Amino acid sequence: MRTSSPQALRRSVVATAGLALVVAAAGCEQSSDGGGETTDYPSETIEIMVPAAAGGGWDLTGRNMQKVLQDEDISSEPVEVVNVEGGGGATGLSQLTSREKGNAHELMITGLVMIGALEQANSPVQLNAATPIATLTAESEAFVVPADSAYQSIADVVAAYEKDPKAVTFGGGSAGGSDHLVAGQLVQAAGADPADLKYVGYSGGGEATAGILSGDVAVGVSGLSEFEQHIESGEMRLLAISTTDEIEVAGEPAPTLKGEGYDVDFANWRAVVAPPDISDGERDAIIEMVDTLHESEGWKAVLEDQGWTDFYRTGDEAKAYIDEETERVSGLMEELGL
């Protein structure tokens, strides 16, 4: 794995005194439902909802989960991935918390991007309506430009913004998401006004990449893994990453915002949640399945290949973290005028 984080940790699932021991048998999880009975899981096809278009970080996370769950026989039932676009994840979250309520075989990928998008849209549905299962990964954000761009460094971008904010258009994931937030933090750290930020939000990583390469936006912002192949091919130029991690991209040390003189250290995290109103036994069985995924060689290889930091927290600990992040992002968006 290319990166490491002091925040990354492992939370074991422990059976409490009144619960039956969670066991795995024949690729199927059994867990107490709180009433002394056991829950076989999965008992039907698992669907992983990606609440965005194909090609982005959520999509990569969901499809890699699907592959490892099936290739390593962690799930005894088929695993499918479905993309539900709209509202920075709001459409998918609404579907999860209403139509799929109580369905333990419907999971959804989420993360920091969704919190900001929901906040900016004043969405009536919030992430805390879902059942947290686990935080999975953290990743540095990358600032990129097309290879033929006049911007040779992140300082060039900042200088152009300071001269005329309307002349520099940033583009990435949904408005209010992590890409938007880190662009605002860069501008703020440079001493400019982030309220003037001109930002184009795309519904998925594929659309964002096309917009950057076509010149529709001047500077692209997204998770490093979404741009890495284009940086390595020479189609894009990496200007900076948002964390202080020492990372090599295309055989070269990646410049960091901090190293370039901007006081920003920002990581994007991703997680998996289930619908509301599932039983305690079902939640524990899903966590046990994701535990097995997390410990597998296949998932470790995914982290290595994608350059994702292992950022694993489950159950109540994952819930506490998501709640804290919701409060933090709300304050950050207000501070940045976004």
Which residues have a Cβ under 8 Å from the Cβ of 190 and sit 6 or more positions away?
158, 161, 162, 262
Give, in words, the CATH class of 23-139+267-336. Answer: alpha beta
Exposure string (b/e) for 297-316, b if CB count within 10 Å is 16 or more? eebeebbeebbbbbbbbbbe
Per-residue pLDDT of the chain (338 residues; tens, 9 = 90+): 444 333 333 333 333 333 332 333 334 445 544 444 567 899 999 999 999 988 888 999 999 999 999 999 999 999 999 999 988 889 999 999 999 999 999 999 999 989 988 888 888 889 999 999 999 999 999 999 999 999 999 999 999 999 999 999 999 988 888 899 999 999 999 999 998 999 999 877 788 899 999 999 999 999 898 899 999 999 999 999 999 988 889 899 999 999 999 999 998 999 999 999 999 999 999 999 999 999 999 999 999 988 899 999 999 999 999 999 999 888 888 888 87
Reading the block at residue 219, the tokens are 């500077």
Check residue 78 and give its pLDDT.
Answer: 97
Contact 20, 38 (CB under 8 A): yes
Q: Where are the domains of the chain?
A: 23-139+267-336, 140-253
pLDDT tens by residue, 268-316: 999 999 999 999 999 999 999 999 999 999 999 999 988 899 999 999 9
Number of Cβ atoms within 10 Å of the Cβ of 71: 10
| 28-44 confidence digits (pLDDT tens) | 445 544 444 567 899 99
Domains 23-139+267-336 and 140-253 share a fold: yes
CB 41 within 8 A of CB 286: yes
Chain centre to alpha carbon of residue 264: 19
Amino acid 202: pLDDT: 87
Chain segment 127-158, per-residue pLDDT in tens? 999 999 999 999 999 999 999 999 999 999 99
**pLDDT of amino acid 80:** 98
> Is the separation of the CB atoms in 137 and 318 below 8 Å?
no
Cα 66 to Cα 47: distance, rounded to the nearest angstrom:
9
The pLDDT of residue 2 is: 44
Would you call 115 helix, strand, or coil by DSSP? Answer: helix
pLDDT in the model for residue 31? 52
What's the CATH code, domain 140-253?
Answer: 3.40.190.10
